[in-house]
Amino acid sequence: MNSAAPESSSTITTTPDKQERILAAIDIGTNSIHMVVGRINATLPAFTIIAKEKDTVRLGERDPKTRDLTPEAIERAIATLRRCQKLAQSLKAEQIVAVATSAVREAPNGRAF
């Protein structure tokens, strides 16, 4: 898994009025999962990417007969999502939002995934 090191500047502090927030966004694609963790300054508005992750999971390799996501692909994806979650939590992300591509949405077992 490729990791960009967190920003090396000073410790991140969040003010009580939430002018600065840390959020994570995950894109579950046909072949890979990407995550970006960003620090958002609501007063500007602006954001800074503080970490990135990318891992190849090949969810598009479906069962040729049933078109289901294969157990192996699901296992790879879940392992990657767990790593992403741990990184986001270590960076104090308030929220993690994930979206899935049509490979997941259209698979007969996609909802179970």
38-51 pLDDT tens trace: 999 888 878 999 99
pLDDT at 14 over 50: no
Q: What is the pLDDT of residue 46?
A: 87
CB environment 84-99: b (16+ within 10 A), e (fewer): bbebbeebebeebeee
pLDDT at 9 over 60: no
The residue behind tokens 């600065």 is 20
Q: What is the pLDDT of residue 51?
A: 97
Output the pTM of the full model. 0.79
Tokens of 95: 């929220």
Candidates 66, 51, 76; CA nearest to 106 is 66
pLDDT at 55 over 60: yes
94-105 pLDDT tens trace: 999 999 988 898
Q: Which CATH architecture has domain 18-105?
A: 2-Layer Sandwich (3.30)
What is the arithmetic mean of pLDDT over 73-101?
97
pLDDT at 5 over 80: no
